[in-house]
Each structure stands twice: as structure tokens, then as C-alpha cells.
Amino acid sequence: MEKRTASASADFERAEGLIGRALATSPRSPLAHFAKAVMLRAQGRAEEAIPEFETVIGLDRNWTYAIFMLGQCKFLTGSIEEAIPAAQQAIRLSPRDPAIGVWYWQIGMVHMLHSRIDEATVWLEKARRASPAFRLPHAYLASAYALKGEMKKAAQELAEARRVTADDRYSSISWLRTAEYYGVPKVLSLFETTYFAGLRKAGMPEE
């Protein structure tokens, strides 16, 4: 494995070159298209990643991570509900997958953004059980419990989210808002009225 460069932009530039050569050599390689899609998603170019993930699935309809990430990219670009069937399909294809906690979380997140808090809680609790060291189920459960008025549970989950996270993003709403990408403006507005509102109730300060 080659040593990574210090600059993220240089890393992406090198990755683009390697992927471009792989696709030139093997244009129907699902792995090469998957690598390109993941790179685009990592660059925040979710809309451009969508056709690449679709190509992967066209070449290999059982590629669970491509299916899940296609749903994630559609979510980020505004097709919010499409994230649920994508995660459900990934779960059906690989019910014992190590990533299943992430898939459960994605379903719970979509329910939360549509204010289906009871449904969200069910899926987020499944995500927490499947992946207890995964920070997002704890953070989203903190919000969900607070929105339901279960303040003791909310405080416990917020504390756990902080404990399992390497940085201090859960110290304030403003930090968390800038630490992660929440999608196009119409998606971000849903986070504001549900997820962030719940975290405020759970005790997270604005600044």
C-alpha cells in the first residue's frame, strides 16, 4: 500500500487518475465504477455518484454496499424516501452484514426527518444494539427520546454519543452542523426541524 499524501486534494487527484486508468482498461468493471462512485460521494458530489452506483448495480445486482450508498446519495440530493428501500434491500441481501447497524440507522434517520418518531426510535434502537460503538444511533436516539419527552434516556444517549466520538462535534449545535454534510437545502431544513430540535431539547447548546 502506497503512503497517503498530506493533502486530501492531492489524494483525490491521484485516486481519480488510478480509477480513470482502471476504467479505461476495464470499462465494465463493477469494482472500478464502485471506486469512482465512493470517491465522488466522499468529495460531496452525490449527484454525480448516483449513475456510477447504478452502473455497479446493473453489473452486479447483489452488490449490497452499492445499493445502500445509492440510497444514501439519493437521500442527500433530495429523494429522501428512497433511502429506506435501499437499506431494506441491503438488509435482505446480507442480514448478518457487519454494516447492518448503519443500514438500520439510515431507516431510522429517514423516519425521524418525517417526524415519525416512534418508528424512528424502533430502528435506531436496533442500530444501537447491532453497532454499540457507532456514534450516530446514539446521537439520533438522544434527539428522538427528547422529542418524545424521555429526557433521562435522551441525556444518556447524548453522553454516549460524545463518549464514542473522537472529536467534540456533539458539544454544540453549531459545531455539529458544520462537522457533517446533511444534503441539499430542503433536506437540511428537515434536519433543523427534527434532529437538531431534539438535540437542543436533550441539552446540546447552540454554541
Percent of the chain predicted with pLDDT > 90: 82
Q: Are 173 and 122 in contact (CB under 8 A)?
A: no
Residue 3: per-residue pLDDT: 37
Confidence band for 7, pLDDT divided at 50, 70 and 90:
low
**For the residues 29-41, what does the mean pLDDT come to?**
91
**Residue 26 pLDDT exceeds 90:** no
139-148 pLDDT, tens per residue? 999 999 999 9
Percent of the chain predicted with pLDDT > 70: 96
Please provide the average confidence, as pLDDT, over all residues in the chain.
92
* Domains annotated on the chain, with CATH: 1-77 (1.25.40.10), 98-207 (1.25.40.10)
